[in-house]
Amino acid sequence: MAKRILIADDSLTIQKAFAMTFAGEDVTLLAARSVDEGLTIARQARPELVIADAVMPGRSGYDLCSAIKSDPALRGVPVYILASSQNPYDEVRGRQSGADGQLTKPFDSVAFVERVKEAIAKGAAAPAAPVIQVPSFTPPPAVRAPLVAVQAAAPSPLDDDYGEISIEDSGPQQGRVSDSPAAARPSIPVAAP
């Protein structure tokens, strides 16, 4: 079965170069000229690989990568950023967006096809995100009655003094726990799960 590769690049010349490069390969190329179009196609076609140009009108390939990696249905799809000597790969943005790697244009066709095949194989070999199933639990009648009574109780006037607790995601390394309103109490840094 042909592997689907999404090429997100606003340049028709680059899209034609990809078509010629992969002409003899068992792949189906899907073309997008913008981040929004790329994301729509990715959601519909579920490609085995996405190659996104680093620079596109409006939003960049890094933005497309972030959107794909944020989508639970797509996060396992490898995304490679297509860079050039005029627009080199940005390591920081690549890491922040979750890019799996980078490809550089202009490219040697044979080496490029091999690199793409490796990227597809690596994506196929990646373990799927674990699905955690929590068994349903119904407390016994002796416990249910007090729980219902507690849930039905009116809120205490003290409840407002404590505010709501929120967890703010500030990246993969740490989170912040704070009371709301934020100005009332200082934030306490905590390690993210």
Residue 158 lies in a domain: no
- Statement: residue 175 has pLDDT above 50: no
Query: Is-contact 176 168, C-beta < 8 A?
Result: yes
Last residue of one domain, picked from the residues 125, 151, 180:
125
Domain with 190, as residue range(s), is: 163-193
Residue 150 lies in a domain: no
Query: Is-contact 43 19, C-beta < 8 A?
Result: no
Amino acid letter for position 63: D
Residue 142 lies in a domain: no
pTM recorded for the entire structure: 0.62
Residues 6+ apart with CB under 8 A from 103: 51, 80, 81, 82, 83, 112, 115, 116
For 124-153, the pLDDT digits (tens) are 654 444 434 445 555 455 544 554 444 444
- In this predicted structure, what is the pLDDT of residue 106? 81
Query: Is-contact 10 33, C-beta < 8 A?
Result: yes
pLDDT classification of 172: cutoffs 50, 70, 90: very low
176 and 94 belong to one structural domain:
no
**More confidently predicted of 154 and 72:** 72
Residue 138 lies in a domain: no
Helix runs in 54-90, H state only: 61-70
**Three-class secondary structure of residue 4 per DSSP:** strand
pLDDT classification of 108: cutoffs 50, 70, 90: confident
Sign for the pseudo-dihedral over CA of 92, 125, 108, 19:
negative
Q: In the chain, how many domains are there?
A: 2
How does the average pLDDT of the chain come out, rounded? Answer: 74
